[in-house]
Amino acid sequence: MRAWVLLSAVLWYLTGGGWQRNSERTEKGFIYGKPGHPVKLYVKLHHNSPILVCMDLKRTEKETVDPTYLWVGPNEKPLTGNNKINITKTGKLMVKDFLEPLSGLYTCTLSYKTVKAETQEEKVVKQRYDFMIFVNPFAPGWKGKCNESVDCQDNTNHNILQARNRIEEFFRSQAYIFNHDFNKTLPAMHFVDHSFQIVRIDSCRPGFGKNEGLHSNCATCCGNYKI
């Protein structure tokens, strides 16, 4: 947790309780905006986010005339209520059943009127609030998303064999074309079966988590191929 203390605007959100660095979070669990500074939040997978309020604490202590709220999501499109996003008429937003693709910048623009007492002149004021929402990387459920692993060595070998087969097919096709489709004045091309092969040359330094003990089939843990 110490590392996160360096982030002055980070809020650590945990269901049933949380950790906060500053005063954006109230006793009701509401997260208020901070003008000029993005408020950062970490949310558990498949949990609801805290309630984000399109207003700062100082503004809540003042009269706000005819307020309107516009929320914009990570895709830079205006947000409307759906099965994942809950927006109230008072500008409060909650992301439900949070998933990694929902991470990103959520922006709300608060518009309200001010009236000069002397002239009764009305003026529209706009204030923007930014909320950065991320998946909590240490919460239950996140590790399961990282279980899918790829065996790079198997993939490399598979790709090399595919390349070999395609190159062999190229020579076969060229030989057929030269012998059947082109003018007979062109020199003939002959392809001898089983004459095409690939040879592996290990010439790289060990690294990337591999060594001779664990990977005896890779002498220097890196493969170069020549044809």
Report pLDDT digits (tens) over 191-216: 676 676 666 655 445 555 555 565 55
* Boundary-marking domain end, from 97, 124, 145: 145
Question: Is the domain of 50 the same as that of 80?
Answer: yes
Q: Are residues 135 and 199 in the same domain?
A: no
The mean pLDDT of the chain is 74
- Alpha-carbon gap, residue 193 to 30, rounded angstroms: 73
122 and 160 inside one domain: no
Q: What is the CATH number of the domain that holds 138?
A: 2.60.40.10
- Same domain assignment for residues 120 and 197: no
**Cβ pair 69, 79 in contact under 8 A:** no
Regarding whether 164 and 84 lie in a shared domain, the answer is: no
What's the CA gap between 216 and 196, in Å, rounded?
26
Structure confidence at residue 222 (pLDDT): 46
Q: What pLDDT score was predicted for residue 9?
A: 33
Spatial strand order in the sheet of 104-115 = 17-20, 10-14, 39-43, 122-135, 104-115, 65-72
* C-alpha to C-alpha distance for 115 and 65, rounded to whole angstroms: 9
Within 10 angstroms of residue 166's Cβ, the number of other Cβ atoms is: 9
pLDDT score at 13: 38
Same structural domain for residues 26 and 62?
yes
- 171 and 134 in one domain? no
Q: How many domains does the chain have?
A: 2
Is residue 112's pLDDT more than 80?
Answer: yes
Answer whether 0.85 is exceeded by the pTM: no
Kindly state whether residues 156 and 112 are assigned to the same domain.
no
Q: Which of 15-19, 82-86, 125-129 has the highest mean pLDDT?
A: 125-129
pLDDT in tens, 123-141: 999 999 999 998 877 766 6
Query: H or E stretch including 143?
Result: helix 142-145
Domain boundary among 110, 145, 180: 145
Are residues 31 and 101 both part of a single domain?
Answer: yes
Domain carrying residue 193: 152-226
- Same-domain pairing of 114 and 179: no
Whether 124 and 156 map to the same domain: the answer is no
| Of the residues 112, 145, 178, the one at which a domain ends | 145
Measured at the CA of 57, the angle between CA 56 and CA 62, to 5 degrees, comes to: 95
**What's the pLDDT at 33?**
92
Can you tell me which residue has the tokens 């392809």?
Answer: 191
Contact between residue 205 and residue 220 where contact means Cβ atoms under 8 Å apart: yes
Residues 92 and 166 in one domain: no
